[in-house]
Structure 1
Amino acid sequence: MHEWVLAPLLLAIGMFGSVLPDMGYFSMVPGDIGDPRFNSVVLEHLFRLATGQQNALWSPDFFFPFGGVLAFSDNHLGSGAVYVAARLLGAMREHAFDVWYLAGFILNFLAALYALNRFGLSPAASAIGAFLFTFAIPALAQNGHAQLVYRFAVPLAVLALWQLFTRRRAMDAVTVIVWTVWQFYCSIYVGIFLFYLLAAMTAVLVRQERSVPLRPWLESLSRETAATKALGAAVGVAALAALAYLVGNYFAVSRLYDLGRDVEQITPMLPRWASYIVADVSPWLDGVARSIPMPVRHEHQMFVGFGAVALAAAGILGAWRQPGSRIGKTMMWSLLLMMIGTLWIKHFSFYYLIAWLPGINAVRAVTRIIVVMLLPISVLAGLGVDYLRRAVGRTAMADVAVVLAGAALVVLEPLNVPPRSDPIAMWQERQAALKAILPTDLPPDAIIWVRTGSDVRVDMVHAELDAMILAQDIGRPTLNGYSGNQPPGNIGSDSCDSVEDKLRGYADFMGGIDVSDYVKRVVTLDLSPCGKAQ
């Protein structure tokens, strides 16, 4: 029982040593003022839906008057309840975002802790592995992409698949489906990567079984009560229907706007061998691969740290020395399949075999698969701790020393990653600057358009987000928009063209309809220098 003390201790270390400082203890927001603010807009859209201020789920009021634009990126439907609850309790937008962000780490840790223990790891090893899954360097490196935070369904889905094969109980398939679908609702990216992991694990487990254990599954079904089978069928069908609804909306919007990416756009963010030793976000590890050229380098932060690698290697060694240990070999081969399947070497990658598929071709940053790879790595690291305890910890004192050394190996390197965040005050100052030039007699049917006049990419993105947040705050739609995709014919905020030009893309898309009514409703806020030029 005393081993479980390590779990809350490591969770506290991760929270107070990394996440809370990154949030400035609720005075800052992790990341910059780009993607975090976009995620805030999506979450606020869900709050507006919950409170009756918005009626259309898939059509938030940006990129107006285009519809279905929520499907341009992640939707947070599987995690947004945390944000909505914080807002309903009185938290302002930025604090509610921080609460939502913080809760994701806690859920990730607890889910991994539970799953690793059910895999057969000791409580101490489970806690160390859960820390690695939750706070590893690659996870912290994605702090600017908060849509990747909610990964708690990953260990639970993987555990359910493991139990499906080891317990040979067909009803476990329902659990696999539920957690996988939930992960898709939390993040499309992570959901797809989880599917890759489950596919790799299935291949490995079938190879170990030398066949699909269909007969044991059917026999297990015959032993279930009628009520259990009916409930399982209902839950499974409901989960698959929910997945069909989600995927169907994304597919429909993708077809409507002809979305998707060419292989050339995906290639720069396919993992290279060197990607697995890149950790520029850590001052300790910054020099490990700094001399190796890498396209879109900030997306290739995939090194888990020397401590994690050492423990995972010990876990693999232990698995090979124990013929009856399946979990270690399963995780090792599954991880290897994921690495081989996504690796890019001299213009070749097996990933090209599926990169063209609808939906898959929308996943640009394949390097982010590391946040799911952390699950098999954390299991192997936990197994490494237990292996070393058996090999070295022959006395109580030696056992404690091994556990503390294992914890130190996975903790020290992530804690070295410095906070990267922007003050909440900066968010609010940008909104105050816009509201200062907002007409006092704004019509109730006004449409907002914010123009920056700057052709600098970051300025344009920030101006789009400024407008999106302002529009939500005042309850008006906006022509501005920022997301993983954009509608056809969209003119950015750097344009000094007319409102008619801005709406021409929509008019053309709709078959040349008259947009003069929209034009009359537009209120243009010029930051500089468009208004002066006119």
Structure 2
Amino acid sequence: MPSINWFTATPGDLIDGRFNSVILEHFYHWITGRQQDLWSPSFFYPNLDVLAFSDNHFGNAFIYALLRILDLSREVAFSAWYVSGCLLNFLVTYIVLRKLHFSVFAASAGAFVFAYFLPAIIQAGHAQLTYRFAIPLAFYALWNFIYKRQISALGLLFLWICVQFYCSIYLGVFLVYLLLAASIAALILQHKNLFKDLKRSWLDLTKPRKIFLSALAIASSISIILLLEKYQQVASLYGFTGNVVEVKHMLPRLESYLIADNSSFSSFVGSWFNQIPLYRHEHQLFIGIGVALIFFIGCCIPWFNYFGINRPYAKDQNAIGKLAFFSLLILFLSTLQYGVGGGQLTSPYEYLFSIPGILSIRAVTRLILVQGLPIAILVALACETLISSLNKNNYFWRAAGIAIVAALLSLEVIFFDHVKTPNAIWTERLNRLSVLLPKPIPAGSVLFVDNSGKETWYFAEVDAMVLAQDLGIPTINGYSGKFPPGHDHQSPNSCIPYMARVQDYGKFHHLTEASTNELMTHIIQIPPSTCVKVN
């Protein structure tokens, strides 16, 4: 709630927060019939398929749409959608940990860490990363498949991978990384008679069950392929290519795991490391002092039988603790940048750069959001062991132990310095532009908001996106993860006139001069000035 100031603000800044709001609002307009083309929102007009320039929110936008149908304003609906995602992450992880036989307190502690640990709440500005509830469900399905020898879990595994891809392609890819790491670890730890047991499990299924599970796995796989194929088509159409240098800058380093600049308690640790001049905001990977302490205890527990004395499900819990530990270790080592001669850094992850589309996943540091699940499991294991070691009949010490653990896990989160934007600022910026519009707005109008070099270019771009969407008209302006020809700003205060944008659009699509000139006649520019700085 502090991140939305009790529904009077939205999480994040004026740029990425409002951009995600535009994407969600577009989906709402589409299902209510106000927008005809799902893949072509009203920005970057007249370019098509611009939704595929970034995440699309297909897996969670229906929640936002429902909130808008219930007549919440777009700002409040966006905040409520964000809160819903956070709650869903917590509740689903709690249910999964309970199914893994953790106690109420241990499951709550683990779920809290997965949903709200520092690397998660620092990403509030990147709201497209909020919905992560399919990650614990997929991990649990893999557990049942390999450890419980349930072939039926394979269908659910594919389903939850698909759901996560449709919530966020970034996290869908990272979930696949986690599952591959967990599979490698599981095959080492639990390989005996695996294929024989899975074959028996398949033969035990009824024919309708086999057909249903096969159809579920195939349909989920096809859905993922179709989604990624659409993004590949758009990337090919617009000539998008990955930037190797940029991706290297956003691979985690050892010091990344100690940086939490917005934490009142532990920011001093990260202040010791100033070797990350670029994209430091993406290297905020420290999990918190209290969480780290309990996490390291959890890492030790599976290897010592002494800790299993008072735990009825110690064998299963230790097994999943080992699986979580090795999964996390594999992800950590395979993505970490290592120092080499000459002060350069390299990483095993660079071997993946040749895979088509992999460089589109620029911020590899966000893998921490998926690594949060094995961290949460090990925290739950530590809490289970610590609390069960206390005398059940001594309620005072048991309550004191729970309170101490809860404080260690939560205090740093409670006093975290959230980045948020008051709703009033949204309204004020839009009102300032609205008074400049002609009344009534002519039919067929296309909006263009001129930056004029007065502030960083993306403020005007997102202002135009929100205003045009509210007005129900397209806009030449736009902001996203990728940019069509004519829209790529080269400096913070640069301004690209609409004439240049339309001309570049015409050249790219081989249009006649008459066609581009006709489009320009429909453009309404506010304020009615010319760019001070041009790329």
TM-score by length of 2: 0.92
Corresponding residue of 2:311: none
- Structure-2 change in CA distance of 1:196 and 1:515 (3 Å): same
What's the secondary structure of 1:515's corresponding residue? helix
Q: Does 1:311 align with 2:286?
A: no
Counterpart amino acid of residue 423 in structure 2: I
After TM superposition, list the pairs within 5 Å mapping 1:267-286 onto structure 2: 267-286=248-267
Q: Is the 8 A contact 2:448 2:525 kept in 1?
A: yes
Q: CA deviation at 1:512?
A: 4.4
Q: CA deviation at 1:91?
A: 0.7
Amino acid at match of 1:193: F
Specify every segment of 5 or more residues in structure 1 that has no aligned partner in the other structure, as ranges.
1-19
1:120 deviation in Å? 2.7
Q: Relative to 1, partners in 2 of residues 1:527 and 1:196: Cα closer, same or farther, differing over 3 Å? A: farther
Secondary structure, aligned partner of 1:169? coil
Q: CA deviation at 1:37?
A: 0.1
State the partner residue of 1:358.
356
Change (3 A) 1:326 1:38: same
Which one of the candidate residues 218, 223, 227 is aligned to 2:204? 223
SS in 1 for 2:91: helix
Counterpart pick for 1:296 among 257, 279, 285: 279
Offset at 1:395?
4.2
1:329 maps to 2:322: yes
Deviation of residue 531 (structure 1)? 9.3
The aligned runs of 1:165-244 (5 Å cut-off) are 165-210=146-191, 213-244=194-225
SS of match in other structure, 1:523 = strand
Are the counterparts in 2 of residues 491 and 502 from structure 1 also a CA contact under 8 Å? no
Amino acid at match of 1:284: F
- Alignment partners' CA distance in 2, 1:386 and 1:273: 29
User: Corresponding residue for 1:464?
Assistant: 461
Report which stretch shifted further, 196-205 or 352-361.
Answer: 352-361
Correspondence 1:489 to 2:501: no
Asked if structure 2 preserves the Cα contact closer than 8 Å seen for 1:393 and 1:402, the reply is no
Contact 1:200 1:337 in 2 (8 A): yes
Relative distance call for 1:207 and 1:51 in structure 2 (3 A) is same
Give how far 1:413 is off: 1.2
Q: Are 2:262 and 2:418, in contact at CA under 8 Å, matched by a contact in 1? A: no
Tell me the SS of whatever aligns to 1:487.
coil
CA contact (8 A) 2:122 2:418 kept: no
Partners of 1:34 and 1:436 lie apart in 2 by: 22
CA contact (8 A) 1:314 1:388 kept: no
Deviates more, 1:406-415 or 1:350-359: 350-359
Letter of the aligned partner of 2:516 in structure 1?
V
1:15-47 alpha-carbon deviations (Å, 9 max, x no partner): xxxxx1221111111111110000000000000
Instruction: Report the equivalent of 1:4.
Output: none
Q: Structure 2: 5+ residue runs without aligned partners?
A: 309-314, 340-344
AA aligned to 2:351 is L
TM-score, normalised to structure 1, is: 0.92
Q: Which residue of 2 aligns with 1:428?
A: 427
Q: Cα–Cα, structure 1 residues 313 and 499, in superposed 2: closer, same or farther, change >3 Å?
A: closer
Q: 1:369 aligns with which of 367, 370, 381?
A: 367
Q: CA deviation at 1:181?
A: 0.7
Q: Distance in 2 between matches of 1:211 and 1:512?
A: 64
Corresponding residue for residue 258 of structure 1: 239
Q: 1:260 offset after TM fit, Å?
A: 3.0
CA distance in 1, matches of 2:418, 2:493: 31
Partner of 2:312: none
- The residue aligned with 2:9 is 28
* SS of equivalent to 1:437: coil
**CA deviation string 1:62-98 (max 9, x = no partner):** 1111111101111111000111001001011101101
Q: 1:364 to 1:393 in 2, by over 3 A?
A: farther
Name 1:14's counterpart in structure 2. none
Query: Are the structure 2 counterparts of residues 211 and 266 from structure 1 closer, same or farther at C-alpha, using a change threshold of 3 Å?
Result: farther
1:123-142 matches, within 5 Å, as 123-142=104-123
Contact 2:494–2:533, Cα closer than 8 Å, also in 1: no
3-state SS of 2:477 partner: coil
For 1:101 and 1:208, locate their aligned partners in 2 and report how far apart those are by CA, in whole Å: 38
In structure 1, C-alpha distance between the alignment counterparts of 2:409 and 2:480, rounded to whole Å: 35
- Give the structure 2 partner of residue 11 of structure 1: none
Bigger drift between 34-43 and 249-258 goes to: 249-258
| Alignment partner of 1:249 is 2:230 | yes
Q: Residue in 2 aligned with 1:414? A: 413
Q: What secondary structure is seen at the aligned counterpart in 1 of 2:125?
A: coil
1:56 lines up with 2:37 in the alignment:
yes
Q: 1:531 to 1:284 in 2, by over 3 A?
A: closer
Alpha-carbon distance, 1:357 to partner = 2.3
Say how many residue pairs are matched: 512
